Chains A and B, each alone.
Chain A
Amino acid sequence: MVVEQTKLPTGVSHAKSNSMNENIDHTQLSEWLNQVADKRCKNAFTHLFKFFAPKIQRIARSKFPNEAQSHEVVQETMSNVWRKAHLFDANKGAATTWVYTVMRNVTFDLLRKVKSNREDNLSDDIWPIAEGSVTEEQVYEDHLESNQLLRVIEALPEAQQQVVKGFYLMEMSQEQLANHLNLPLGTIKSRLRLALAKLKVQLGEEHD
């Protein structure tokens, strides 16, 4: 299904996600949000404001015909960020994702007010802000990791691949592997060590 396409990073999308990380300091944004939530820190809020407000304004400008309305989106979104920051959970997703949902909901309600003249503010019922994702997420995450792990293993040199797959996937002992591959035990051990070091670097890179 389509999910698969977006889930497995290809070479291209991987490069893209690297450049995204350079543009956005996710850790910093989360930290500011948490400081706003825990300490009502105005300084952290000002940082968040300076990062998000101009971008929100530009996005809102493309959806609303007049400037006053786009200011209203900025005002509403950022005050929701101030008043609801405690609903943000860094374990469930990026700060950008959370602020995006807040902005999307504000925009939706305001558009509805403009178009249908309804002030029913349905957005938070349609897209709940409190719970970003669901418990099943965990299952998927594991699934992803193992896929990624396999990909990285496939990229190892053939000799190391054999050892890693035998040891971890087929659960053979190092002695069994030595017999099976007709190699000295020391070679098996050093190949395994080399492979693991490589995996660590690879996975570390991909996780950052």
Chain B
Amino acid sequence: MIKHHPKFELLQSYVNGDLPASLAIGISIHADMCTDCQHTIAQLTEQVAEHSFEEATVRLDDLDSNSFTSYSEEADEEDFFESMISNITFSDDADVITEALQREVIFRDKTYQLPTALSRIELGKAANIGKLSRSRLQLDEDEIHSSLLHINPGGGVPAHTHKGFELTVLLDGSFTDSRGEYNKGDFILLDGTFTHNPISQNGCLCYTVANDALHFTQGINKLLNPIGSFIY
């Protein structure tokens, strides 16, 4: 049962196409498994579409300022559009849509099906520390890092916080932290003020996005801070 969802504002930015690919992918993965959010997204899309295309005329404002140039610009634009139409309709071919390919990944001998949103993104080689394995997604979004993070049964990430944000979408399995249990499909977005120590009893696979290194907060694990950026 999914309990954690993206905030309304985030869904809105998703629908508008304003989010970086990494976050849009996170929401897409969640929505794939969450009919509530699917419904909200469908509704928001309808609304923003209606709003985008409702304005009756485009150039009303231009007319009073300088009608002469705006007329000739309009004529130019008309020519331009005419030629675009004939270019586009030159060929009668229609696109054939192929089934989204099902992609699988293997972490420590376990095979997982990846969601459609991840089906074509290049994956880096898996790196392992103890019960954690991480494979970086090649999205090239500067300081934003996206990964697949696999936790073996009984493993966990030591108590940490972030300077930026940390998104976790559970693709499979479950984990717990001080706030409770998280299950497949949960969308967990934390900001830098929150400290947590996720532990996975039975193992899990997560899609993670973070825009800065982890910062370990407890005892001996503080020694790990130099490699904090390694995990997420």
Q: Which residue numbers of A lie inside 8 Å of B, CB to CB? A: 1-3, 6-7, 20, 23-24, 37, 40, 42, 45-46, 49-55, 57-59, 71, 74-75, 78-80, 82-87, 93-94, 96-97, 99-101, 103-105, 107-108, 111-112, 116-118, 120, 122-123, 125-128, 130, 132-134, 136-137, 140
Shortest beta-carbon contacts, A-B, top 8: A100-B49, A104-B17, A97-B49, A136-B35, A96-B49, A83-B95, A108-B17, A133-B42
- The answer, among A1, A104, A105, for a CB contact under 8 Å with B16, is A104
Residues of A within 8 A of B15 (CB): 104
Residues of B within 8 A of A120 (CB): 120-121
Q: Which residue of B lies closest to A123 (CB)?
A: B17
The distance from the CB of A4 to the nearest CB of chain B, in whole angstroms, is 10
| 14 intermolecular pairs with C-beta atoms under 8 Å apart | A53-B84, A54-B77, A55-B58, A58-B58, A84-B94, A97-B50, A107-B17, A108-B21, A111-B17, A116-B140, A132-B42, A133-B39, A134-B38, A136-B35
A46:B85 contact, CB within 8 angstroms: yes
Q: Tell me the bound Cα distance from A1 to B3 in angstroms.
A: 13
Count A-B contacts at CB 8 Å. Answer: 151
- The answer, among A1, A94, A130, for a CB contact under 8 Å with B46, is A94
B45:A101 contact, CB within 8 angstroms: yes
B56:A23 contact, CB within 8 angstroms: yes
Q: Tell me the bound Cα distance from A200 to B142 in angstroms.
A: 58
A140:B39 contact, CB within 8 angstroms: yes
Q: Which residue of A lies closest to B16 (CB)?
A: A104
B141:A126 contact, CB within 8 angstroms: no
Q: Which residue of B lies closest to A2 (CB)?
A: B8
A59:B38 contact, CB within 8 angstroms: no
The reply to whether the CB of B193 lies closer than 8 angstroms to some CB of chain A is no
Number of B residues with CB within 8 Å of any CB on chain A: 52
B94:A105 contact, CB within 8 angstroms: no
Say whether chain B's binding surface is mostly helix, strand, loop, or mixed.
helix
Residues of A within 8 A of B16 (CB): 104
Q: Which residue of A lies closest to B27 (CB)?
A: A126
Give the one of A7, A37, A93, A120 with max B CB within 10 A: A120
Known: A54-B58, A107-B17. A93 touches B46 (CB 8 A): yes
Residues of B within 8 A of A108 (CB): 17, 21, 24
Residues of A within 8 A of B100 (CB): 125, 128
A137:B95 contact, CB within 8 angstroms: no
The reply to whether the CB of B66 lies closer than 8 angstroms to some CB of chain A is no
The reply to whether the CB of B106 lies closer than 8 angstroms to some CB of chain A is no
Residues of A within 8 A of B87 (CB): 75
Chain B 1-29 interface 0/1 with A at a Cβ cutoff of 8 Å (1 = within): 00000001000000111000100110010
Residues of A within 8 A of B8 (CB): 2
B85:A116 contact, CB within 8 angstroms: no
